[in-house]
Amino acid sequence: GAGVSQSPSNKVTEKGKDVELRCDPISGHTALYWYRQSLGQGLEFLIYFQGNSAPDKSGLPSDRFSAERTGGSVSTLTIQRTQQEDSAVYLCASSSPGVWDPSEQYFGPGTRLTVT
């Protein structure tokens, strides 16, 4: 079946503009994660959604970052008033967690964001 898809694959934006990044998880996967991969910082957790539960937003770096997940499927990560330090690859992952087995997270190809 189809894997995790993300769009756009590349995004170049001017400093101060807002951007929206989209993630389509694997069908049936109830858990969805956003991570950021940047030079020098490595991979960082941003936010976690699980079904209808309140999301874990503990990794969002500032209040310019927000995310939502509609209908338990598609997720959108929004960055307002982008800054150059927001330049990174934004990765989405989904999984179907069980009680005892932290199931594998399946990663999308990422969105490369460049803020000029």
Sequence letter at residue 88:
A
Is residue 15 classed as helix, strand or coil in its secondary structure?
Answer: coil
Is residue 94 a contact residue for other proteins (CB under 8 A)? no
**Kind plus residue range of the DSSP H or E element containing 64:** none
Is residue 25 a contact residue for other proteins (CB under 8 A)? no
Residue number, 48 or 65, with CB nearest to other proteins: 48
- Candidate list 64, 74, 80, 109; residue touching other proteins; CB under 8 A: 109
Going residue by residue from 51 to 90, which x/- string records binding to other proteins, judged by CB under 8 A?
A: -----x--x-------------------------------
**E strand map for the chain:** 5-7, 10-13, 19-24, 31-38, 42-50, 65-69, 75-79, 88-95, 106-107, 111-115
Residue 76 Cβ vs other proteins, minimum distance, rounded to whole Å = 19
Is residue 21 a contact residue for other proteins (CB under 8 A)? no
